[in-house]
């Protein structure tokens, strides 16, 4: 399964959402979701779904930063939510509020019992760099 990597932090995503909600645009949110869709090897969402799917990222981002949700689980939660949204409300109406989206994400966390392992510490920037180096080395080994 693909691992979700966010190009912005939780605070930045929340600010983007708030500023675009007040202006009534979706340009920045669409760009972020296009990047997420590319990572997850799926087509970008249609415009009516962008605000609600961006709210999913806003709800997942702090959990990823704290290490409560791994990048793999975050991609699962996002793709599952998007699949259900496309099936149940393909035109995006009625749109769920950010609080309802937060409850839905918490529902996934509770149902699948997504937790940080006992004794595990939240990942650091150094951990991510080390993992990237290992992946690069494995991809560039001779004979592969």
Angle, helices 27-39 vs 10-23, to 10°: value is: 140
Domain extents for the chain?
10-116
Going by the DSSP 8-state scheme, the letter that residue 94 receives in this structure is S
> Residue 82 burial (CB < 10 Å; 0-12/13-18/19+)?
buried
The answer to whether the CB of 36 falls within 8 A of the CB of 78 is: yes
Q: What is the pLDDT of residue 33?
A: 97
pTM score, whole prediction: 0.81
Over the stretch 50-86, which tens digit does the pLDDT of each residue have? 999 999 999 999 998 888 888 889 999 999 999 999 9
Q: What is the pLDDT of residue 32?
A: 96
CA dihedral of 101, 95, 25, 23, whole degrees rounded to 10? -80
> Chain centroid to CA 131: how far?
19
Q: What is the pLDDT of residue 65?
A: 87
Place 144 in a pLDDT band, splitting at 50, 70 and 90.
Answer: low
Over the stretch 42-51, which tens digit does the pLDDT of each residue have? 999 999 999 9
CA distance 26 to 138: 38
Going by C-alpha positions, the residue among 106, 114, 63 that lies closest to residue 81 is 106
């Amino acid at each position: 399964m693909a691992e979700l990597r966010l190009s912005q932090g939780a605070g930045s995503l929340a600010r983007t959402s708030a500023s675009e909600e007040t202006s009534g645009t979706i340009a920045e949110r669409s760009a972020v979701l296009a990047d997420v869709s590319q990572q997850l090897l799926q087509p970008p969402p249609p415009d009516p779904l962008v605000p609600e799917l961006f709210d999913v990222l806003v709800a997942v981002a702090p959990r990823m930063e704290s290490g409560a949700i791994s990048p793999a689980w975050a991609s699962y939660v996002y793709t599952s939510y998007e699949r259900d949204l496309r099936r149940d409300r393909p035109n995006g109406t009625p749109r769920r509020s950010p609080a309802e989206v937060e409850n839905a994400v918490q529902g996934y966390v509770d149902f699948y019992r997504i937790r940080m392992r006992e004794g595990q510490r939240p990942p650091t920037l150094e951990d991510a760099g080390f993992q990237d180096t290992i992946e690069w080395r494995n991809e560039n080994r001779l004979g592969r």
